Structure 1
Amino acid sequence: MALFKGIFKKKKQTTSQLPKPSSQVMDDLKHLSTNGQDGDALQNIENIFGEDHDFVKREMIALEHIPATVLYLNSITDKDAISKEVMKPLTESKACQQGNEPLKDYVLKKVLFHADVKTETELTKVVEGLIRGNTVLILNGLNDVFLINTYKTDKRSISQPDTEQVIRGSREGFIENLQSNTALIRARIPIPDLRVKSLKIGTMTQTNVVICYIDGVANQALVADVEERLNNINVDRILDAGYIEQFIQDNPRSPFPQVKSTERPDVTVGNLLEGRVCILVDGSPFVLIVPATFAQFYQTSEDYNERFIMVSAVRIVRVVALLFSLIMPSLYVAILSYHPELIPTAFAVAITSGRAGVPFPAVVEVFLMEAAMEILREATVRMPKQVGGALSIVGVLVIGQAAVEAGFVSPITVVVIALTTIGSFATPAYNMAIGFRMMRFPLLIMTGLLGFYGLVLGLLLVNNHVLSLKSFGVPYFSPMAPLNFEGLKDTVIRAPLNWLLDRPEELHPVNKRRIRPNDLGPTNPLADEHVNSEGGNKKK
């Protein structure tokens, strides 16, 4: 027992105890500046990038008589902008009149017309700017180095995300470009209260990460907690939002996600307006939303675009499909192996005749079919689109029929597994669906050993685990546990929009009110009691 405690015990380390990987080149340049006392800045930069095939060094005469050098990486820069907004003004501008103003101010104010230009004296910041798409301008005799933002790279167009398609709703989805994703959010929240804070994570990748929240709505304690968890991440690389998610979630050992991810700007904006905090990662089309509750993973943006009766019915169907996909295989095994008296006689005869000749007990049969279905599902996802659909059809029809005819499985087992798989597809969030799919296997094993007692015990353990989870201090099962009647209006069912007066209480938003009282009811200016047949007002 002590061995298992040692394996699963969570080791807490402070940030100062963690190793700090970094770039050796940047460490060597940390104490160097661009002035002549620390050596030639141009020579130091050439020593670093001189052998790179995309490194460009262009020497020229600027302002009629000053030798200048322009440095950039052509793979991530806009060559047209360099030509029109850097080189052309430098070669066509007149020389600075001595005594009128310093050369640096003259170049900044009267020569370089680029909107994003600054000067640096630290060599590390110059090198960092160069590798982020900036053009470096070095003027002979001037200690300051000019950094002109000319970053440009190819990016895909904004389109509907494949993982969150809707029938009625926006067709825009996030892409891998951080600036484009930020613009999609700002376009939907055109108010100055939207805060967009930037930081860099990853000692090697130096990935740009943005924290978004609405000042005056989001609780500042939540914002501070998110910033602290992000600043405590000490790793050499951040390649996708999934890296961030695994570092900031409360319980990384849980199979259930505690951070919601989305590719849709409308979903992101809706959560921001509720008081949540969103995290954008450069290079990833997924936005992280915290805190996350269980109910969020079974809601879609389309739920708020349709009438509440239809949406409520659909949400109930999703919950029923969840329960069906989780317990159906185990329930089938429990009844068939331990409690056959619960089956009606006619149905029992049909099941018995269908299982005639099957060499495996029910639990082994169901376990093998579940494993085969997971293998087939994974193969379908990883195969190219041209053959992926054909593989799924062949796997379901041909392999299933062949297994039944060969006597490996019974027809009723194939039906149960097929219905279970279809039920798992009703979960909108892919990461939540994976968690419940994996839960089926331990439930199946416990049911095979103990029957109904094993199934009930397994469900109690799953329920206890879910109730113990928290996301940034918010109970995972909010608002159902702890119970909040106001929050129940937007969980399993969705009340009319004019009933959703307040923002979620579990988020402790600064501005709790979402709908003003004088906006609750529509008026009827064209009702019969207000207008007459000629279109004028009736006088009673």
Structure 2
Amino acid sequence: MRFFNSRKKKKQIQESNIPKSKISKDIKELHVVPELEKMIILFDTIFQKDFDFSVRKFHVFGKTEAAIVFISSIVDKEKLERDIIKPLQENSRTKDLTKSMMNYINEDVLYDGDVNKTIHMKDLVEGLLRGKVVLLIDGQKEAFHLDAFKPEKRGITQPETERVVRGSRDGFIEQIGVNASLLRYRLPVPEFRVEQMEVGKLTKTKLAICYIDSITNEELVEEVRKRIERIDIDRILDAGYIEQYIQDNPRSPFPQVQNTERPDKAVGNIVEGRVVILIDGSPFALIVPAVFNQFYQTSEDYNERWLISSIIRLIRLAALIFSLTFSSFYVTVLSFHPELIPAQFVVAAASGRSGVPFPVVIEVLIMEFAMEILREATVRMPQQVGGALSIVGVLVIGQAAVLAGFVSPITVVIIALSTIGSFATPSYNAATAFRLLRFPLIILSGALGLLGLAAGLIIVMNHMLSIRSFGVPYMTPFSPLNITSLKDSFLRAPIKWLMERPSQLQPKDVIRENSAEKMDNPGETVNKGGN
């Protein structure tokens, strides 16, 4: 509800002696005044064009005039009526007359648990924009702001980007409070810390730094704080903004910050000694530091037997390398080293390329570019038609290109296998980096043959060896070599062998379990109990 019409409001503002320059330029210097009408005019001036700004006037204890100021679009109106207005109207001050009115209301009347008093207009305005309700009482130099925020949120569902066969089905959502509760549910220990910060001059986005105080290195936590505090931007709309600001090498194509929608994955990294960053408004949590080893692993690896998980990890790693090099190697062999083709495949390769007007390198680049367009179109299309587009597009376009003589059948097969290999990588941003690196490798292979392919791979590997994530070498534990951490790298050793946290994180508590010898033969305990 609006309290004043525009003409009356303008006239009352002019008569109220409230400095308009201060209202429009700087609210920080303004304080609460005892005159209720002046306060209402001041708030109405600040939010004069906002349709959802509301003022509700009533009498406290049936005597003293008061008003509730709130933003109706983000406030729980049922809670407002039940826990704030109703107690103030129905109660009568018949006892504790020695208390001031503000203390009596705070301690004996209001049901709301989050009640704060302030004299600063800045705090009241910020509270209103955060979903709080401001209680103004005539004759009082202080004002209450009470929490009545009601955010619109979706339910907790399985993450779309990190599906598993065996594992939990809950995922982060956009509300930071819900995400923090999902972590606390899995980490019911007093050492678990959730530090809140705020970034973005206009959006004032909340974020939380999550870690275990008794495990995580203090220098790592402090470095995370410093990098976040250095962010100077007017808006933070998603976790990707934070990721780009805090990474060590922003020019690198490889991700140096891991993101996840899975609470169990976030908790697993926190327990190892890493820091997880939650951002309000984003369903993705950021994990730092991140090394290359993490991007082809999933939380499901630890739910299966070690032998099965190790084989699957090797398959993922092979698919990742395969997707990067297969197209380039194909160009190298057909353009410069046809003697590498087995004799039984020479005729098939030659007949397939007969009539194709382009060199092999141009043919592969065209198909790779077309595949990237098709992939992007599939992602941007509505979900109902996106799947059909990907299947029909590959079949129809590929078959039509072969029949038209633009590409050879072998090239279509090679490109399809390379693309499928990139889908086996669990991390989308890591798979994207390798997909994009295929293009310069194809060009080098088409220009210099096997020498160009080798030079390109050396450059890529040298770059990966040179970058760091929050001081941790990106290729750890392979370089520098760490024998202990190799037990959980491209192979996953049995869980009873993984008794030490990653040493590159320099955790305060290195040992996960001090009684490792008790797990060597758990059957002995059962037999002793039976005797």
TM bucket, shorter chain: over 0.9
CA contact (8 A) 1:72 1:134 kept: yes
Match of 1:259 in 2: 257
- The residue correspondences of 1:396-435 to structure 2 (distance < 5 A) are 396-435=394-433
Note the C-alpha offset of 1:98. Answer: 8.4
| Aligned counterpart in structure 1 of residue 269 of structure 2, from 263, 268, 271 | 271
1:169 partner letter: G
1:393-419 superposed Cα distances (whole Å, 9 cap, x missing partner): 111111100100110000000010000
**Closer, same or farther: CA 490–140 of 1 in aligned 2, 3 Å:** same
How far, CA to CA, are the matches of 2:206 and 2:408 in structure 1? 54
Note the C-alpha offset of 1:38. Answer: 13
Higher mean displacement: 40-49 or 406-415: 40-49
CA contact (8 A) 1:185 1:265 kept: yes
| Aligned counterpart in structure 1 of residue 505 of structure 2, from 498, 504, 507 | 507
The answer on 1:340 being equivalent to 2:325 is: no
TM-score by length of 1: 0.92
Match of 2:17 in 1: none
**Closer, same or farther: CA 38–294 of 1 in aligned 2, 3 Å:** farther
| Aligned counterpart in structure 1 of residue 77 of structure 2, from 66, 76, 79 | 79
1:523 partner letter: P
How far, CA to CA, are the matches of 1:258 and 1:434 in structure 2? 13
Three-state SS of the structure 1 residue aligned to 2:203 is: coil
How far, CA to CA, are the matches of 1:525 and 1:417 in structure 2? 54
Match of 1:391 in 2: 389
2:140 partner letter: L
1:126 partner letter: L
CA contact (8 A) 1:166 1:302 kept: yes
CA contact (8 A) 2:217 2:505 kept: yes
How far, CA to CA, are the matches of 2:297 and 2:415 in structure 1? 25
| Aligned counterpart in structure 2 of residue 445 of structure 1, from 440, 443, 446 | 443
CA contact (8 A) 1:208 1:282 kept: yes
Match of 2:12 in 1: none
Match of 2:162 in 1: 164
How far, CA to CA, are the matches of 1:167 and 1:446 in structure 2? 40
1:473 partner letter: G
1:339 partner letter: H
**Closer, same or farther: CA 274–530 of 1 in aligned 2, 3 Å:** closer
Higher mean displacement: 296-305 or 338-347: 338-347
2:523 partner letter: N
1:216 partner letter: S
Identity of aligned residues (%): 52
Match of 2:371 in 1: 373
Match of 1:352 in 2: 350
How far, CA to CA, are the matches of 2:23 and 2:277 in structure 1? 30
Note the C-alpha offset of 1:26. Answer: 8.1
Note the C-alpha offset of 1:48. Answer: 1.3
Match of 2:3 in 1: none
CA contact (8 A) 1:211 1:280 kept: yes
1:309-336 superposed Cα distances (whole Å, 9 cap, x missing partner): 0000000001110111101011000010
How far, CA to CA, are the matches of 1:31 and 1:526 in structure 2? 70
- The residue correspondences of 1:227-376 to structure 2 (distance < 5 A) are 227-376=225-374
> What is the alpha-carbon root mean square deviation over aligned residues?
1.8
Note the C-alpha offset of 1:52. Answer: 1.1
| Aligned counterpart in structure 1 of residue 458 of structure 2, from 446, 457, 460 | 460
1:80-101 superposed Cα distances (whole Å, 9 cap, x missing partner): 1100110000001113768501
Three-state SS of the structure 2 residue aligned to 1:389 is: helix
Match of 2:5 in 1: none
Match of 1:18 in 2: none
Match of 1:524 in 2: 523
Note the C-alpha offset of 1:104. Answer: 1.3
Three-state SS of the structure 2 residue aligned to 1:465 is: helix
Match of 1:14 in 2: none
CA contact (8 A) 2:320 2:425 kept: yes
How far, CA to CA, are the matches of 1:57 and 1:264 in structure 2? 42
* Structure 1 unaligned spans of 5+: 1-23
Three-state SS of the structure 2 residue aligned to 1:524 is: helix
Three-state SS of the structure 1 residue aligned to 2:357 is: coil
1:521 partner letter: D
How far, CA to CA, are the matches of 1:307 and 1:320 in structure 2? 20
Higher mean displacement: 236-245 or 508-517: 508-517
Three-state SS of the structure 1 residue aligned to 2:136 is: strand
How far, CA to CA, are the matches of 2:306 and 2:24 in structure 1? 57
Note the C-alpha offset of 1:185. Answer: 0.3
Three-state SS of the structure 2 residue aligned to 1:31 is: coil
Three-state SS of the structure 2 residue aligned to 1:156 is: coil
**Closer, same or farther: CA 463–323 of 1 in aligned 2, 3 Å:** same
1:417-437 superposed Cα distances (whole Å, 9 cap, x missing partner): 000000000100000000000
**Closer, same or farther: CA 98–317 of 1 in aligned 2, 3 Å:** closer
TM-score by length of 2: 0.93
**Closer, same or farther: CA 210–530 of 1 in aligned 2, 3 Å:** closer
Three-state SS of the structure 1 residue aligned to 2:438 is: helix
Three-state SS of the structure 2 residue aligned to 1:216 is: coil
Size of the aligned set, in residue pairs, is 509
CA contact (8 A) 1:26 1:124 kept: no
Note the C-alpha offset of 1:523. Answer: 3.2
Note the C-alpha offset of 1:153. Answer: 1.7
1:161-195 superposed Cα distances (whole Å, 9 cap, x missing partner): 01000000000000001111000000000011010
CA contact (8 A) 1:498 1:515 kept: no
Note the C-alpha offset of 1:303. Answer: 0.3
The answer on 1:475 being equivalent to 2:503 is: no
1:71-123 superposed Cα distances (whole Å, 9 cap, x missing partner): 11111111111001100000011137685011111110011111111111111
CA contact (8 A) 1:324 1:423 kept: yes
How far, CA to CA, are the matches of 2:25 and 2:370 in structure 1? 52
How far, CA to CA, are the matches of 2:205 and 2:42 in structure 1? 24
How far, CA to CA, are the matches of 1:406 and 1:88 in structure 2? 78
Three-state SS of the structure 2 residue aligned to 1:195 is: strand
How far, CA to CA, are the matches of 2:39 and 2:205 in structure 1? 25
**Closer, same or farther: CA 345–284 of 1 in aligned 2, 3 Å:** same
How far, CA to CA, are the matches of 1:140 and 1:210 in structure 2? 38
Higher mean displacement: 95-104 or 277-286: 95-104
How far, CA to CA, are the matches of 1:504 and 1:285 in structure 2? 27
CA contact (8 A) 1:194 1:214 kept: yes
* Structure 2 unaligned spans of 5+: 1-21
Three-state SS of the structure 2 residue aligned to 1:75 is: helix
- The residue correspondences of 1:38-77 to structure 2 (distance < 5 A) are 40-77=38-75
How far, CA to CA, are the matches of 2:72 and 2:490 in structure 1? 53
Three-state SS of the structure 2 residue aligned to 1:40 is: helix
